[in-house]
Protein backbone atom coordinates (compact mmCIF):
# COMPACT_ATOMS: atom_id res chain seq x y z
CA UNK A 1 0.00 0.00 0.00
CA UNK A 2 3.04 2.31 0.09
CA UNK A 3 2.22 3.53 -3.42
CA UNK A 4 -1.02 5.01 -2.10
CA UNK A 5 0.75 7.10 0.53
CA UNK A 6 2.67 8.95 -2.13
CA UNK A 7 -0.51 9.58 -4.09
CA UNK A 8 -2.39 10.69 -0.98
CA UNK A 9 0.34 13.18 -0.14
CA UNK A 10 0.03 14.55 -3.68
CA UNK A 11 -3.67 15.17 -3.05
CA UNK A 12 -2.83 16.98 0.16
CA UNK A 13 -0.26 19.15 -1.60
CA UNK A 14 -2.67 19.91 -4.43
CA UNK A 15 -5.32 21.00 -1.95
CA UNK A 16 -2.87 23.14 -0.02
CA UNK A 17 -1.92 24.90 -3.27
CA UNK A 18 -5.35 26.56 -3.14
CA UNK A 19 -6.35 25.62 -6.70
CA UNK A 20 -9.57 23.88 -5.66
CA UNK A 21 -10.94 26.85 -3.72
CA UNK A 22 -11.80 29.07 -6.67
CA UNK A 23 -15.43 29.20 -7.77
CA UNK A 24 -14.58 28.93 -11.47
CA UNK A 25 -12.46 25.84 -10.81
CA UNK A 26 -15.23 24.09 -8.87
CA UNK A 27 -17.80 24.96 -11.51
CA UNK A 28 -15.58 23.66 -14.31
CA UNK A 29 -15.00 20.33 -12.55
CA UNK A 30 -18.73 19.78 -12.07
CA UNK A 31 -19.37 20.54 -15.73
CA UNK A 32 -16.63 18.13 -16.77
CA UNK A 33 -18.13 15.41 -14.62
CA UNK A 34 -21.55 15.95 -16.19
CA UNK A 35 -20.07 15.78 -19.70
CA UNK A 36 -18.23 12.56 -18.86
CA UNK A 37 -21.39 10.93 -17.50
CA UNK A 38 -23.21 11.77 -20.72
CA UNK A 39 -20.28 10.55 -22.81
CA UNK A 40 -20.28 7.18 -21.05
CA UNK A 41 -24.05 6.94 -20.68
CA UNK A 42 -24.38 3.83 -22.85
CA UNK A 43 -21.41 2.14 -21.20
CA UNK A 44 -22.99 2.76 -17.81
CA UNK A 45 -26.28 1.25 -19.01
CA UNK A 46 -24.44 -1.91 -20.05
CA UNK A 47 -22.46 -2.05 -16.81
CA UNK A 48 -25.49 -1.61 -14.56
CA UNK A 49 -27.32 -4.26 -16.56
CA UNK A 50 -24.39 -6.61 -16.04
CA UNK A 51 -24.02 -5.98 -12.31
CA UNK A 52 -27.65 -5.66 -11.24
CA UNK A 53 -29.83 -6.28 -14.32
CA UNK A 54 -31.04 -2.69 -14.28
CA UNK A 55 -32.93 -1.52 -17.35
CA UNK A 56 -31.96 1.76 -18.99
CA UNK A 57 -34.92 3.69 -17.58
CA UNK A 58 -34.17 2.64 -14.01
CA UNK A 59 -30.48 3.26 -14.56
CA UNK A 60 -31.22 6.79 -15.72
CA UNK A 61 -33.68 7.68 -12.97
CA UNK A 62 -31.82 6.15 -10.03
CA UNK A 63 -28.20 6.42 -11.16
CA UNK A 64 -27.03 8.57 -14.09
CA UNK A 65 -29.87 11.09 -14.19
CA UNK A 66 -29.91 11.30 -10.41
CA UNK A 67 -26.27 12.43 -10.35
CA UNK A 68 -26.71 14.81 -13.30
CA UNK A 69 -29.70 16.39 -11.58
CA UNK A 70 -27.56 16.87 -8.47
CA UNK A 71 -24.84 18.51 -10.58
CA UNK A 72 -27.33 20.84 -12.28
CA UNK A 73 -28.84 21.88 -8.97
CA UNK A 74 -25.41 22.49 -7.46
CA UNK A 75 -24.24 24.56 -10.44
CA UNK A 76 -27.33 26.75 -10.14
CA UNK A 77 -26.74 27.47 -6.44
CA UNK A 78 -23.01 27.12 -5.84
CA UNK A 79 -22.09 30.81 -6.03
CA UNK A 80 -24.71 31.65 -3.41
CA UNK A 81 -23.65 28.79 -1.14
CA UNK A 82 -20.02 29.95 -1.24
CA UNK A 83 -20.77 33.52 -0.18
CA UNK A 84 -19.83 34.55 3.36
CA UNK A 85 -22.89 34.34 5.56
CA UNK A 86 -23.50 37.56 7.48
CA UNK A 87 -24.77 36.99 11.02
CA UNK A 88 -25.72 39.30 13.86
CA UNK A 89 -23.25 40.53 16.45
CA UNK A 90 -24.24 40.81 20.10
CA UNK A 91 -24.14 44.00 22.19
CA UNK A 92 -21.00 42.87 24.04
CA UNK A 93 -19.01 42.99 20.78
CA UNK A 94 -20.57 46.10 19.25
CA UNK A 95 -19.67 47.52 16.70
CA UNK A 96 -17.96 44.40 15.30
CA UNK A 97 -19.21 42.53 12.22
CA UNK A 98 -19.61 38.74 12.16
CA UNK A 99 -19.57 36.33 9.23
CA UNK A 100 -19.47 32.58 8.63
CA UNK A 101 -17.05 31.50 5.91
CA UNK A 102 -17.53 28.21 4.05
CA UNK A 103 -14.12 26.59 4.06
CA UNK A 104 -13.26 23.30 2.26
CA UNK A 105 -12.19 20.52 4.59
CA UNK A 106 -9.21 19.19 2.64
CA UNK A 107 -8.87 15.60 1.40
CA UNK A 108 -12.04 13.53 1.75
CA UNK A 109 -12.48 9.77 1.48
CA UNK A 110 -15.79 8.65 -0.06
CA UNK A 111 -16.66 4.96 0.22
CA UNK A 112 -19.57 3.72 -1.90
CA UNK A 113 -21.74 0.58 -1.80
CA UNK A 114 -22.73 -1.83 -4.57
CA UNK A 115 -26.51 -1.44 -4.75
CA UNK A 116 -26.45 1.97 -6.48
CA UNK A 117 -22.77 1.96 -7.39
CA UNK A 118 -22.75 5.15 -9.43
CA UNK A 119 -25.28 7.29 -7.57
CA UNK A 120 -24.03 6.59 -4.05
CA UNK A 121 -20.39 7.25 -4.95
CA UNK A 122 -20.78 10.22 -7.30
CA UNK A 123 -23.55 12.12 -5.49
CA UNK A 124 -21.35 12.82 -2.46
CA UNK A 125 -18.50 13.50 -4.90
CA UNK A 126 -20.56 16.36 -6.32
CA UNK A 127 -20.82 17.89 -2.85
CA UNK A 128 -17.11 17.40 -2.14
CA UNK A 129 -16.12 19.07 -5.42
CA UNK A 130 -18.59 21.90 -4.87
CA UNK A 131 -17.11 22.54 -1.42
CA UNK A 132 -13.58 22.74 -2.85
CA UNK A 133 -12.02 19.50 -1.64
CA UNK A 134 -9.73 16.85 -3.07
CA UNK A 135 -11.23 13.37 -2.98
CA UNK A 136 -10.32 9.69 -2.78
CA UNK A 137 -13.09 7.51 -4.24
CA UNK A 138 -13.40 3.89 -3.09
CA UNK A 139 -16.21 2.03 -4.89
CA UNK A 140 -17.57 -1.35 -3.89
CA UNK A 141 -15.73 -4.20 -5.56
CA UNK A 142 -19.02 -6.13 -5.86
CA UNK A 143 -20.22 -4.14 -8.89
CA UNK A 144 -17.13 -4.66 -11.12
CA UNK A 145 -18.62 -3.65 -14.47
CA UNK A 146 -19.83 -0.29 -13.16
CA UNK A 147 -16.58 0.24 -11.25
CA UNK A 148 -14.65 -0.19 -14.50
CA UNK A 149 -16.65 2.54 -16.24
CA UNK A 150 -16.50 4.88 -13.24
CA UNK A 151 -12.73 4.46 -13.05
CA UNK A 152 -12.48 5.39 -16.74
CA UNK A 153 -14.67 8.47 -16.17
CA UNK A 154 -12.55 9.67 -13.26
CA UNK A 155 -9.24 9.01 -15.03
CA UNK A 156 -10.29 10.92 -18.16
CA UNK A 157 -11.94 13.79 -16.30
CA UNK A 158 -9.68 14.62 -13.37
CA UNK A 159 -5.99 14.51 -12.51
CA UNK A 160 -5.18 11.86 -9.89
CA UNK A 161 -3.69 14.51 -7.62
CA UNK A 162 -7.20 15.99 -7.42
CA UNK A 163 -9.57 12.99 -7.56
CA UNK A 164 -8.00 9.59 -6.87
CA UNK A 165 -9.93 6.41 -7.73
CA UNK A 166 -8.90 3.40 -5.65
CA UNK A 167 -10.29 -0.03 -6.45
CA UNK A 168 -9.81 -3.37 -4.69
CA UNK A 169 -10.99 -5.35 -1.69
CA UNK A 170 -12.55 -2.81 0.65
CA UNK A 171 -11.76 -4.82 3.77
CA UNK A 172 -8.06 -4.45 2.97
CA UNK A 173 -7.86 -1.17 1.06
CA UNK A 174 -9.90 1.10 3.35
CA UNK A 175 -8.11 0.25 6.64
CA UNK A 176 -4.74 0.63 4.93
CA UNK A 177 -5.70 4.03 3.52
CA UNK A 178 -6.97 5.29 6.88
CA UNK A 179 -3.94 4.03 8.80
CA UNK A 180 -1.44 5.63 6.44
CA UNK A 181 -3.12 8.99 5.97
CA UNK A 182 -5.22 11.37 8.03
CA UNK A 183 -8.21 12.32 5.92
CA UNK A 184 -10.15 15.48 6.70
CA UNK A 185 -13.50 13.74 6.29
CA UNK A 186 -14.74 10.21 5.65
CA UNK A 187 -18.09 9.66 3.96
CA UNK A 188 -19.34 6.07 4.08
CA UNK A 189 -22.48 4.47 2.68
CA UNK A 190 -23.10 0.84 3.52
CA UNK A 191 -23.97 -1.62 6.24
CA UNK A 192 -24.08 -0.76 9.93
CA UNK A 193 -21.49 -3.41 10.81
CA UNK A 194 -18.87 -2.01 8.41
CA UNK A 195 -19.87 1.55 9.31
CA UNK A 196 -18.94 0.87 12.93
CA UNK A 197 -15.45 -0.23 11.85
CA UNK A 198 -15.05 2.89 9.70
CA UNK A 199 -16.14 5.03 12.64
CA UNK A 200 -13.63 3.37 14.97
CA UNK A 201 -10.78 3.85 12.52
CA UNK A 202 -11.70 7.51 12.02
CA UNK A 203 -11.99 8.10 15.77
CA UNK A 204 -8.36 7.05 16.29
CA UNK A 205 -7.30 10.14 14.32
CA UNK A 206 -10.25 12.35 15.33
CA UNK A 207 -11.49 12.46 11.75
CA UNK A 208 -15.11 13.59 11.23
CA UNK A 209 -17.36 11.12 9.44
CA UNK A 210 -20.70 10.91 7.68
CA UNK A 211 -22.29 7.48 8.02
CA UNK A 212 -25.15 6.60 5.70
CA UNK A 213 -26.19 3.21 7.05
CA UNK A 214 -29.21 0.97 6.76
CA UNK A 215 -31.79 -0.34 9.16
CA UNK A 216 -35.22 -1.85 9.18
CA UNK A 217 -37.38 0.84 7.61
CA UNK A 218 -40.99 0.19 8.64
CA UNK A 219 -44.10 0.96 6.65
CA UNK A 220 -47.48 1.37 8.37
CA UNK A 221 -50.76 1.03 6.50
CA UNK A 222 -53.60 2.34 8.62
CA UNK A 223 -57.20 1.19 8.32
CA UNK A 224 -58.21 4.50 6.70
CA UNK A 225 -55.46 4.42 4.04
CA UNK A 226 -56.10 4.57 0.32
CA UNK A 227 -55.22 0.91 -0.19
CA UNK A 228 -54.79 1.02 -3.97
CA UNK A 229 -52.32 3.89 -3.75
CA UNK A 230 -50.53 2.30 -0.80
CA UNK A 231 -50.16 -1.06 -2.55
CA UNK A 232 -48.91 0.53 -5.79
CA UNK A 233 -46.36 2.77 -4.12
CA UNK A 234 -45.07 0.10 -1.76
CA UNK A 235 -44.75 -2.48 -4.56
CA UNK A 236 -42.87 0.01 -6.74
CA UNK A 237 -40.21 0.96 -4.21
CA UNK A 238 -39.88 -2.34 -2.36
CA UNK A 239 -39.11 -4.33 -5.50
CA UNK A 240 -37.15 -1.69 -7.39
CA UNK A 241 -33.57 -2.92 -7.85
CA UNK A 242 -34.83 -6.30 -6.56
CA UNK A 243 -35.32 -4.77 -3.13
CA UNK A 244 -31.65 -3.83 -2.76
CA UNK A 245 -32.30 -0.29 -1.60
CA UNK A 246 -31.52 1.13 1.84
CA UNK A 247 -34.78 3.12 2.02
CA UNK A 248 -37.05 0.41 0.65
CA UNK A 249 -39.85 -0.59 3.04
CA UNK A 250 -38.31 -3.42 5.04
CA UNK A 251 -41.61 -4.70 6.44
CA UNK A 252 -45.25 -3.62 6.44
CA UNK A 253 -47.49 -3.27 9.47
CA UNK A 254 -51.05 -3.25 8.14
CA UNK A 255 -54.18 -2.70 10.19
CA UNK A 256 -56.02 -5.98 10.58
CA UNK A 257 -59.29 -4.47 9.31
CA UNK A 258 -57.75 -3.99 5.82
CA UNK A 259 -55.09 -6.70 5.89
CA UNK A 260 -56.75 -9.07 3.42
CA UNK A 261 -57.69 -6.35 0.94
CA UNK A 262 -54.25 -4.75 1.09
CA UNK A 263 -52.41 -8.03 0.49
CA UNK A 264 -54.67 -8.84 -2.47
CA UNK A 265 -53.92 -5.45 -4.01
CA UNK A 266 -50.20 -5.82 -3.36
CA UNK A 267 -50.17 -9.15 -5.19
CA UNK A 268 -52.11 -7.62 -8.06
CA UNK A 269 -49.69 -4.73 -8.53
CA UNK A 270 -46.60 -6.90 -8.21
CA UNK A 271 -47.91 -8.94 -11.13
CA UNK A 272 -48.90 -5.83 -13.10
CA UNK A 273 -45.47 -4.26 -12.63
CA UNK A 274 -43.26 -7.32 -13.09
CA UNK A 275 -45.52 -9.86 -14.90
CA UNK A 276 -46.38 -13.38 -13.80
CA UNK A 277 -42.78 -14.41 -14.49
CA UNK A 278 -40.44 -11.67 -13.21
CA UNK A 279 -37.38 -13.76 -14.09
CA UNK A 280 -37.75 -12.67 -17.71
CA UNK A 281 -39.27 -9.26 -17.03
CA UNK A 282 -37.52 -6.18 -18.44
CA UNK A 283 -38.20 -4.16 -15.29
CA UNK A 284 -37.01 -6.63 -12.69
CA UNK A 285 -33.41 -6.94 -11.48
CA UNK A 286 -31.22 -9.59 -9.91
CA UNK A 287 -29.41 -10.16 -6.64
CA UNK A 288 -25.85 -8.85 -6.62
CA UNK A 289 -24.05 -12.11 -5.75
CA UNK A 290 -24.46 -15.63 -4.39
CA UNK A 291 -23.64 -14.65 -0.81
CA UNK A 292 -26.60 -12.27 -0.71
CA UNK A 293 -28.77 -14.76 -2.60
CA UNK A 294 -28.08 -17.53 -0.06
CA UNK A 295 -28.81 -15.23 2.86
CA UNK A 296 -32.16 -14.14 1.42
CA UNK A 297 -33.37 -17.59 0.43
CA UNK A 298 -32.48 -18.90 3.88
CA UNK A 299 -34.40 -16.09 5.59
CA UNK A 300 -37.48 -16.74 3.44
CA UNK A 301 -37.90 -19.99 5.39
CA UNK A 302 -38.56 -17.99 8.57
CA UNK A 303 -42.07 -17.10 7.43
CA UNK A 304 -45.00 -18.32 5.37
CA UNK A 305 -44.61 -17.36 1.71
CA UNK A 306 -47.97 -16.12 0.41
CA UNK A 307 -46.76 -14.78 -2.93
CA UNK A 308 -43.67 -15.47 -5.02
CA UNK A 309 -40.84 -17.39 -3.45
CA UNK A 310 -39.42 -18.82 -6.67
CA UNK A 311 -35.67 -18.45 -7.06
CA UNK A 312 -32.74 -19.64 -9.16
CA UNK A 313 -29.22 -19.47 -7.82
CA UNK A 314 -27.50 -19.69 -11.22
CA UNK A 315 -29.11 -16.46 -12.41
CA UNK A 316 -29.30 -14.81 -8.95
CA UNK A 317 -33.05 -14.50 -9.34
CA UNK A 318 -35.48 -14.18 -6.44
CA UNK A 319 -39.11 -13.50 -7.27
CA UNK A 320 -40.89 -10.62 -5.49
CA UNK A 321 -41.96 -12.41 -2.34
CA UNK A 322 -44.54 -11.67 0.35
CA UNK A 323 -44.12 -13.38 3.69
CA UNK A 324 -46.57 -13.64 6.58
CA UNK A 325 -44.98 -14.17 9.98
CA UNK A 326 -46.57 -16.97 12.06
CA UNK A 327 -47.24 -16.22 15.73
CA UNK A 328 -44.53 -18.65 16.80
CA UNK A 329 -41.86 -16.80 14.77
CA UNK A 330 -42.74 -13.21 15.57
CA UNK A 331 -39.95 -12.71 18.11
CA UNK A 332 -36.66 -10.79 17.68
CA UNK A 333 -34.79 -14.04 16.97
CA UNK A 334 -36.41 -14.13 13.51
CA UNK A 335 -33.96 -12.42 11.10
CA UNK A 336 -36.86 -11.18 8.97
CA UNK A 337 -37.85 -9.05 11.97
CA UNK A 338 -34.42 -8.18 13.35
CA UNK A 339 -32.04 -7.80 10.37
CA UNK A 340 -32.18 -5.49 7.37
CA UNK A 341 -33.53 -7.67 4.55
CA UNK A 342 -32.09 -5.74 1.58
CA UNK A 343 -33.80 -7.89 -1.01
CA UNK A 344 -37.19 -8.65 -2.63
CA UNK A 345 -38.71 -10.26 0.46
CA UNK A 346 -41.45 -8.30 2.24
CA UNK A 347 -42.77 -9.46 5.61
CA UNK A 348 -46.35 -8.38 6.36
CA UNK A 349 -47.61 -8.17 9.92
CA UNK A 350 -51.21 -7.31 10.89
CA UNK A 351 -51.84 -5.07 13.90
CA UNK A 352 -54.91 -3.96 15.84
CA UNK A 353 -53.74 -0.99 17.89
CA UNK A 354 -51.26 1.82 17.51
CA UNK A 355 -49.34 0.72 20.62
CA UNK A 356 -48.93 -2.80 19.23
CA UNK A 357 -47.41 -1.57 15.95
CA UNK A 358 -45.20 0.97 17.73
CA UNK A 359 -43.82 -1.75 20.02
CA UNK A 360 -42.78 -3.82 16.98
CA UNK A 361 -41.05 -0.81 15.40
CA UNK A 362 -39.25 -0.01 18.66
CA UNK A 363 -37.47 -3.38 18.55
CA UNK A 364 -35.24 -1.87 15.85
CA UNK A 365 -34.88 1.80 16.84
CA UNK A 366 -33.83 4.72 14.65
CA UNK A 367 -34.67 3.35 11.19
CA UNK A 368 -33.22 5.14 8.19
CA UNK A 369 -36.73 5.69 6.82
CA UNK A 370 -40.33 5.45 8.00
CA UNK A 371 -43.53 5.45 5.94
CA UNK A 372 -47.15 5.76 6.96
CA UNK A 373 -50.23 5.53 4.75
CA UNK A 374 -53.32 7.16 6.19
CA UNK A 375 -56.10 9.58 5.23
CA UNK A 376 -56.27 11.04 8.73
CA UNK A 377 -54.11 14.05 9.62
CA UNK A 378 -54.19 13.19 13.31
CA UNK A 379 -52.95 9.68 12.52
CA UNK A 380 -50.03 10.96 10.45
CA UNK A 381 -49.09 13.50 13.13
CA UNK A 382 -49.22 10.81 15.81
CA UNK A 383 -46.90 8.53 13.85
CA UNK A 384 -44.49 11.31 12.88
CA UNK A 385 -44.20 12.29 16.54
CA UNK A 386 -43.93 8.73 17.90
CA UNK A 387 -41.15 7.26 15.74
CA UNK A 388 -37.57 8.61 15.60
CA UNK A 389 -36.23 8.06 12.05
CA UNK A 390 -33.86 9.55 9.50
CA UNK A 391 -36.38 10.65 6.88
CA UNK A 392 -39.61 9.41 5.43
CA UNK A 393 -42.92 9.92 3.70
CA UNK A 394 -46.62 10.20 4.37
CA UNK A 395 -48.61 8.30 1.75
CA UNK A 396 -45.47 7.46 -0.20
CA UNK A 397 -42.29 5.44 0.17
CA UNK A 398 -38.63 6.20 -0.62
CA UNK A 399 -39.26 9.22 -2.83
CA UNK A 400 -38.15 11.74 -0.21
CA UNK A 401 -34.54 11.07 -1.23
CA UNK A 402 -35.20 12.58 -4.68
CA UNK A 403 -35.91 16.05 -3.25
CA UNK A 404 -32.65 18.04 -3.10
CA UNK A 405 -34.24 20.48 -0.65
CA UNK A 406 -34.54 17.73 1.98
CA UNK A 407 -31.52 16.49 3.95
CA UNK A 408 -30.99 12.77 3.42
CA UNK A 409 -29.47 10.73 6.22
CA UNK A 410 -30.08 8.58 9.25
CA UNK A 411 -29.95 8.88 13.00
CA UNK A 412 -28.61 6.60 15.70
CA UNK A 413 -28.28 3.06 14.37
CA UNK A 414 -28.95 4.22 10.81
CA UNK A 415 -26.03 6.66 10.79
CA UNK A 416 -25.56 10.38 11.12
CA UNK A 417 -24.88 13.37 8.94
CA UNK A 418 -26.82 14.25 5.80
CA UNK A 419 -26.37 15.20 2.16
CA UNK A 420 -28.15 16.04 -1.13
CA UNK A 421 -28.32 19.56 -2.51
CA UNK A 422 -26.99 22.24 -0.18
CA UNK A 423 -26.61 19.65 2.57
CA UNK A 424 -23.88 17.95 0.51
CA UNK A 425 -22.00 21.23 0.21
CA UNK A 426 -22.34 21.85 3.94
CA UNK A 427 -21.20 18.31 4.81
CA UNK A 428 -17.89 18.82 3.01
CA UNK A 429 -17.39 22.37 4.29
CA UNK A 430 -16.27 23.85 7.58
CA UNK A 431 -18.34 26.78 8.84
CA UNK A 432 -15.57 29.12 9.97
CA UNK A 433 -16.70 31.83 12.35
CA UNK A 434 -15.00 35.22 11.93
CA UNK A 435 -15.61 38.45 13.83
CA UNK A 436 -14.07 41.70 12.60
CA UNK A 437 -13.70 44.42 15.22
CA UNK A 438 -12.88 48.03 14.25
CA UNK A 439 -10.00 49.85 15.91
CA UNK A 440 -11.60 53.29 16.06
CA UNK A 441 -13.81 52.24 18.98
CA UNK A 442 -11.88 50.76 21.91
CA UNK A 443 -13.62 51.59 25.22
CA UNK A 444 -11.57 51.33 28.39
CA UNK A 445 -14.36 49.41 30.13
CA UNK A 446 -13.22 46.22 28.34
CA UNK A 447 -9.81 46.30 30.04
CA UNK A 448 -8.60 45.78 33.61
CA UNK A 449 -8.95 46.76 36.34
CA UNK A 450 -12.48 45.29 36.50
CA UNK A 451 -13.14 45.97 40.18
CA UNK A 452 -16.50 47.66 40.75
CA UNK A 453 -17.89 46.89 37.29
CA UNK A 454 -19.85 43.72 38.14
CA UNK A 455 -23.21 45.45 38.05
CA UNK A 456 -22.49 46.98 34.66
CA UNK A 457 -21.25 43.64 33.27
CA UNK A 458 -24.45 41.98 34.43
CA UNK A 459 -26.51 44.57 32.58
CA UNK A 460 -24.50 44.07 29.39
CA UNK A 461 -24.30 40.29 29.46
CA UNK A 462 -27.65 39.61 31.11
CA UNK A 463 -28.49 37.41 34.06
Residue 319 known to be catalytic: no
Report angle CA 319, 345, 410 to the nearest 5 degrees.
Answer: 135
Give the β-pairing of 163-165 and 218-221: unpaired
Q: Which of 161, 246, 319, 340 is catalytic?
A: 246
What pLDDT was estimated at residue 2? 65
pLDDT tens, position by position, 294-331: 999 999 999 999 999 999 999 999 999 999 998 888 88
- Angle, in degrees to the nearest 10, between helices 227-239 and 259-274: 50
Instruction: Work out the mean pLDDT of the chain and round it to a whole number.
Output: 96
Report pLDDT digits (tens) over 383-404. 999 999 999 999 999 999 999 9
So what's the pLDDT on residue 143? 98
pLDDT at residue 461 in the model: 80
For 417-443, what is each residue's pLDDT tens digit? 999 999 999 999 999 999 999 999 998
Catalytic residue, chosen from 70, 212, 319, 340, is 212
- List the chain pLDDT tens, one digit each, 463 residues: 467 899 999 999 999 999 999 999 999 999 999 999 999 999 999 999 999 999 999 999 999 999 999 999 999 999 999 999 999 999 889 899 999 999 999 999 999 999 999 999 999 999 999 999 999 999 999 999 999 999 999 999 999 999 999 999 999 999 999 999 999 999 999 999 999 999 999 999 999 999 999 889 999 999 999 999 999 999 999 999 999 999 999 999 999 999 999 999 999 999 999 999 999 999 999 999 999 999 999 999 999 999 999 999 999 999 999 999 988 888 888 999 999 999 999 999 999 999 999 999 999 999 999 999 999 999 999 999 999 999 999 999 999 999 999 999 999 999 999 999 999 999 999 999 999 999 999 988 889 999 999 998 888 887 6
**According to the model, what pLDDT value does residue 215 have?**
84
- Predicted structure pTM score: 0.95
Domains present along the chain, CATH in parentheses: 2-213+413-432 (3.40.605.10), 218-409 (3.40.309.10)
Cα 230 from Cα 436, distance rounded (Å): 55
Known catalytic residue at 156 = no
Amino acid sequence: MSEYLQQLNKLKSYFESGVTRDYSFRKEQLRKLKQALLKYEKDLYSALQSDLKKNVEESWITEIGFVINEINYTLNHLRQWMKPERVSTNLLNFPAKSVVLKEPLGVALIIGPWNYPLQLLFTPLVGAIAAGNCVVLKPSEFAPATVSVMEKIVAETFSNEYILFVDGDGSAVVPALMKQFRFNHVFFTGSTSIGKRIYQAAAEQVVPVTLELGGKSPCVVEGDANLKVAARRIALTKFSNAGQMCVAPDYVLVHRSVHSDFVSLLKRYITEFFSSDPSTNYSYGKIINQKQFDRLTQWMKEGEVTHGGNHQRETLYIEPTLVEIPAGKSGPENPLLSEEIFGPVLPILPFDKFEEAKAIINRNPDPLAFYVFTSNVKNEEKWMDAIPFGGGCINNASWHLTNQHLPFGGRGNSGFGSYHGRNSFETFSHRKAVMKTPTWFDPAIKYPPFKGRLGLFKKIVGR
